[in-house]
Chains A and B, each alone.
Chain A
Amino acid sequence: MLLKRGAEAELHVEDFTLHPLGKGKVVVKHRVPKRYRIRELDLSLREARTSLEARLLSDAKRAGVLTPPVYEVDRENMRVVMEYVEGRPLKEVLEEMGREERRRVCREIGRYVARLHRKGLVHGDLTTSNLLLTPGGDLYLVDFGLGEYTSSLEARGVDLHLLRRALQSVHFRIAEEAYREICSAYLREFGKGGREVLARAEEIARRGRYIGREERGALLRDGK
């Protein structure tokens, strides 16, 4: 059954036929070819993201973030097979839920991001579409294809900046309140050095438009 046709992948829900006890469902995420880009680039991007996604899903779990277990990575066909999470995208429920519940969820997000960062991972696409909330209140993080193994301040700052931007463009009514909650949980969980990351995220938000020649020179020198 088609679960979702996203921008880069098609997700299907299938029965987990290989399960030794013969039960459960899996999600098959298939990165489809994009004809607008040349073949070499298309193949290398899809390959890299498929492997990266599988590795990061597992490493994130080790870092203390709830992610669906990965059962199979098929680099040939650009498919990742993982456990099906019974839940709803946070995007659909974040604004409806009560204030307290929202605060709890936001704090969980802040903790998740801090745990990833402390273990040298960044997610690369932190949005409320990539978080699933189960009926039992568990929060799952998915969609790691744009992630990275890095401990750079810039990458961490971008990660948080993207999350804030995603909140602003989709949940503008509650964006700032939610982001504040996320940041304070992030600070607590990350510990020393967390402030620097938040400050970098602020700085990144100020770029993007006309930037002075000096600033631009600095960016190029740092090879960012």
Chain B
Amino acid sequence: MTLIGRGLALLGLILSPSAYAEWQVNLMPGVTEISRAVYDLHMTIFWICVAIGVVVFGIMLYSIINHRKSRGAKAHNFHENTLVEIIWTIVPFFILIGMAVPATATLIKMYDKGEAELDIQVTGFQWKWRYHYLGEDIDFFSSLSTPREQIANESEKGEHYLLEVDNPLVIPVGKKVRLLLTSNDVIHSWWVPGLAVKKDAIPGFINEAWTVVTEPGIYRGQCAELCGKDHGFMPIVVDVRSEEDYKLWLAEMKQAKAQASDAATQDWTLADLMEKGEEVYNRTCAACHQVTGEGIPGAFPALKNNPIMVAEPSAHIDVVLNGKAGTAMQAFRDQLDAVELAAVITYERNAWGNNSGDLVTPAQISKLKQ
């Protein structure tokens, strides 16, 4: 295509109605009292800026047009005018104070750390989030669920491309929820625009944020602090439910946990573990070690043809359970349950031609996890 052809195609794209369907340039008002206050503040300041712009450019345009050279205008040649200087210093001063007063009022509201009805610890990981409901014994990881084929452009991208997770954060509507944010590795930032919450998650520190969502629904966000290779692949989904639905969800989560510990005591065949292991591997490990098991030379070791895979399994199990301190290889002990750990280890030992024939059982892992 010629340059002009390409330009026209681009113009067509910009002007086509479909390009505007999703157009939202402005901040969203959101679904909490705070997010609406932030939105109002934003609009107030926006209109102040518009007014200043109109006045300044209006005077400028008027001067340019009415005092132009062709009309014989002569420039005034004076050096100072104390009165005008004082005015143009005082006016912005009052404008800034006028903006600072409502901004401070909103900030003070945001920092109100009064009693919360639910405390959730949020931990950032490379590259997923962990939600621990304090006092409820509920603790799970939330990772990207967009299929790899969509990311690799092998299939049509879905509606919530890169903004969908396997396990969303579920919270009750109308309740004050306090988030205690920290990180396991590097600095992340938990950001959900609809709630107007954006707070850094820093290793070794606990930051506090809170929210009271007034409308049930699904709200999406992202990590907002560049945190490495898959920074763009650790979205946040908040599922706000009515009080009853939230209670139901709590009960379901507890039941699922009990079932998982039952599954760990059952007998698993190699084929079953391989099938489950592949799913766990692609979801949890492939971001670094790659679907092919070949890793990325210099960054993530290959697991294919890795001597660890055919040697006695204990070293392999140890590195997966406990990670390697100081490297990107995390401890998966708490991230995955016994069945998932056994499955993924068994999978690695037998996939990609590793064919060790070893079967690592959930029961074996359960013992090590205690």
A interacts with B: no
